[in-house]
Structure 1
Amino acid sequence: MSTWRGASSSGRAGFAPRGGRGGGRSGRGGRQSAPQPDIVKHPLGNLVAKITSKDIDLTASGDTLSATAVITDCEYVASYNWMNESASTIMAPGKPPLWTPLSVPRQLDEDSGDFYRDPNAARFPSYPIEPAVQAIFRVDTAFSTSEIDVFACGSTLGNLLRFARHDDKPFRFTVELIGNTVFFVRKEGSPTELITGVRGFGHTFPEAYTTWESDVKGSETHQRIVQYKFGGLGFLLRFECDGYFNTARPRKSIRKGDDDLAQALKAVSVSQSLPKQNNTLNIKTGGSEVPQSSIFDLKTRSGKHAQSIDMEQILPLLYLKQIPNFIVAYHNGAGLFPTKDIKVENYEKKIRQWEIDNKSALERFSVLLRKIIEVVKMDECGRLEIYRPSLDYLEIRKQHGDESHVLPLSLRQEWENAGLQVADEPDSDQESLQESEGVHLPRGYYNYNLDSDSDDDDAKDFTACSADDCGYCGRCTY
């Protein structure tokens, strides 16, 4: 079986303010290709299942959908800001930076500094998903997890949607079942992997044109969690937010003081150290909730070289994150952004049209998600890894070595307990899915591509898990 083999990522140490935004802005001066997963540095575990493009095609596979593959019932759940402090600290609910465009454009310096690919992992490598879960329980102590089938981020869910859309991009991430929820967790080459080749003004522009307000001063990045239904499944999605509009007043230009602007722009080029790493996450209360209707995503491009935005890459992510507003700012090639070349637009109609136009891809996406959930729930330990080695298929594998859990034990138990108010009943959706797909596989062995030319013993696991295999996880029944 052929695989992609990615080289190890290298980069300089350090952290640039709003570096978390770099994770969303790596291509703001032009699209960059994602690094290929490094399976030499991080070897793969045994193959559990393979899902091909044909397997998720409704016409070819004969599958049927039990629910329409569209997003419904989207609502804000929680949010937090990463704070620039010596210890790992979040502020909940926090607040995105406010859109405060300059009344008089001025030439900006080009981006410099180091930008981490995954700010959550860089700032809290022990449990990168923990801040989001803590923020949820901080906002709503009675939050029920019983109807949450998937907890994902924009990166992991976006990668699966790309696969369903036949977009050629390698990826790899871990999954773990906690209670009824399958957690999708990013897996970079290292927690502090840097975005390489950052050019343009994708960081200095937002520093000049947005403002962290007084109640969230010292923030680095704003992370939001929304809840919605898709294809009959319940989702929580965490993503980074570039900013918001204050809808209480007109969207007019607001001139920052020269000192404030100079300080903000200077901060972009100054590398700072990451917080001291330990297993303790500090949580502050501060900021305020802002409505989903007011947030925006932001990109910059060169007007001089007539660089255009590839909306076929942008719209799917706006759709998954349910971000209704989009800003694209064109500069003159030297960092000057004329006011007339800063386009602020509501994209709700375009997002709805994209959903209609991509009906088939979204149906494949829905089937893919259900197949992944099924395999994870059938696994003895419920801890696996998703790896895409080819345009035409992805693999579900055992986690190699002693991978850590996605959440600490106490928080895993809290998540499970938060779903116990619903009676223990058979999962009718899961049962109907298995019946419709004819999936009746022996425990410990799953392979959707039954005609695979691989008769590797690695592709079959006929044993129950053991301490040597995956580590004790408490899920084994024999």
Structure 2
Amino acid sequence: MRGRRGYRSGGRPHRGSLAREMLTLRPPQFQIGTPLAGGRNIRENVSDILQTITLSEDEPGYDEEYVPSIINTQVIASYSWTDAEEPTILVPGALPVWQERSLPFSVPRDQGIQFIDQNAHRSELHPVLPLILSIRHISPRFDYGKINIITDRNGLRKLMSWAGKTATEPCEDFRIDVDVVGKDKNSTVLLTRWEARNHEEQRYGYGHNFLSAVTSEHWGCKGATSYSRILQYDFAGLTLLVRYSADAALTPTERSATASARADSDLDHLATQIASLNIGTSSKTATPSNNKTNSIEVIPTKHELSPQSSTIEIKSRTTRSYETFDWPHTLPQLFLSQTPYLYIGIHRQGYFERVVKHSMPISLRWDAKGKAAGDVIRADADMQKALDSAKHALKDLGRLLERLREIALEYARTQSEGFRMVLLCESGKLSLYRRSSEDKLPREVYDAFN
């Protein structure tokens, strides 16, 4: 195993657990036996219930035939965390590159500690801050006023799991913290990921070592422990800013998907405010620790943003588990990040004999009315079947996001400044509560949005 970063797990065909969009720490920083932080209570800092959220097909305006799609996808920014002693990100980050290896080959079983949420581990008080800082570095004039919702892909997957629930197979419990930035009808709803633990010990699978074996690090990002990518796209009438962790790219060619000049906006003040945060460079390296300050060092790189059409999700499955591959779990992961390729390494106890490659439809061109003008990448039969099965859940995800935004904006408008909320799903029941915990961004960033 090469001594470098690992990314999300893919070693076993786990069902459901959306908490596990994981990233692995490089040895020897963590080893098996390292004490792990105790799990938090899902109801910590939760007080009064505000509203229970339901969806009904009897609601006015419900269209049984309408299924929302994702259009106008743009790659806005990217960054990579490092193992520096002080929380440090490389901006832009760079995706590892897929390498076609001769088959078969073997890799050892995964071991050590893997991240569940690296952003919360390294920036505990403000896990959304690296998203803002990376955008500030790449697009200082970025117009947040056009963004309706800022979220992690993981949050969208959890909401979609609730939207697609059934009475016999309810979704897992989850929590998403909810905040509103801005004070008018164009305010942005911020959905922040919450996990009981931010890292855990690996006890199964070969997915991380398989990923290391079939990708190579991009120049200039040695020592990076992750790669996070930020997309902007339109879905169900809303404009979303979505952060997710990506595995690899097809080619090393780096060309910005958003290289055209953006129009000047009224948010120069935002760039000024964010620039006042502690941003610099660092050459220290050490075992990372939880960060409870506003400080995140930013190291500029010379990378540009690789096109979305080159991105790959990489997983591993045993020969037996691939026969019952969990498409309902995987399809949202691909669709909600507009990742066009899924590569699955098939193995027997770490002995990889083949790689199965799937593709899903990604539209990168639109007409004047915002409708897809042509598919750049088309779906294979398995992917298309999964997409067809997900239509109901996608429809209800769009309705849920619209409903959640309306409710959050209404409470933010009528309550005192700094009103904080939390969305809880418990035993399939989805409710909004009042939250007493801290802001998810430094106050100066909130003020800049205002």
TM-score, reference length from structure 2: 0.74
Q: Hey, what's the Cα distance between the residues in 2 that align with 1:389 and 1:124? A: 27
The answer to whether the 8 Å contact 1:175/1:386 transfers is: yes
Q: Partner of 1:366 in structure 2?
A: 398
Q: Give 3-state SS (helix, strand or coil) of 2:251's partner.
A: coil
| Aligned length in residues | 363
- Say whether residues 1:326 and 2:342 are aligned partners: yes
2:173–2:426 Cα contact (<8 Å) kept: yes
Name the amino acid aligned to 1:342: V
Q: Distance in 2 between matches of 1:365 and 1:79?
A: 26
1:228 aligns to 2:233 (yes or no): yes
> Cα offset for 1:43?
5.3
1:184-223 matches, cutoff 5 A? 184-190=191-197, 193-195=198-200, 198-223=203-228
* Structure with more of its chain in helix, by fraction: 1
- Displacement of 1:29 in angstroms is 1.4
**Structure 2 CA distance for partners of 1:201 and 1:376, relative to 1, 3 Å:** same
Higher strand share: 2
Given the alignment of the two structures, is residue 168 of structure 1 paired with residue 171 of structure 2, yes or no?
yes
Distance across 1 between alignment mates of 2:336 and 2:105:
34
**Taking structure 1 as reference, are residues 248 and 32 closer, same or farther at Cα in structure 2, changes over 3 Å only?**
same
Match of 1:238 in 2: 243
Find the residue that maps to 1:366 and give its secondary structure: helix
Greater gyration radius = 1
Question: What secondary structure does 1:62 align onto?
Answer: coil
The separation in 1 between residues aligned to 2:391 and 2:76, in whole angstroms, is: 27
1:283 counterpart = 2:298? yes
Deviations 1:422-445 (A, max 9, x none): xxxxxxxxxxxxxxxxxxxxxxxx
Aligned residue number for residue 345 of structure 1: 358
C-alpha distance in structure 1 between counterparts of 2:309 and 2:103, whole Å: 28
Aligned residue number for residue 13 of structure 2:
30
Aligned-pair CA distance for 1:363: 2.3
Verify: 1:60 aligned to 2:58, yes or no. Answer: yes
**Counterpart-to-counterpart distance in 2, 1:363 and 1:35:** 20
2:326 counterpart of 1:310: yes
Q: Indicate the residue corresponding to 1:394 in structure 2.
A: 430
Counterpart of 1:96 in 2: which secondary structure? coil
1:395 offset after TM fit, Å? Answer: 0.5
- 2:5 maps to 1:18: yes
Task: Give ranges in structure 1 of 5+ residues lacking alignment.
Answer: 1-15, 250-271, 417-478
TM score, norm. by length of structure 1: 0.70
Task: Provide the rounded CA distance (Å) in 1 between the counterparts of 2:329 and 2:319.
Answer: 19
Contact 2:112 2:202 in 1 (8 A): no
- Hey, what's the Cα distance between the residues in 2 that align with 1:119 and 1:212? 19
Identical columns (%): 24
**What is the alpha-carbon distance in structure 1 between the residues aligned to residue 408 and residue 175 of structure 2?**
15
- Between the aligned partners of 1:248 and 1:83, the Cα distance in structure 2 is 23
Unaligned runs of 5+ in 2: 20-38, 255-285, 362-377
Distance apart, 1:63 and its partner CA: 4.1
Q: Which residue of 1 aligns with 2:263?
A: none
- CA distance in 1 between counterparts of 2:144 and 2:195 reads 27
Distance 1:35 1:362, change over 3 A: closer
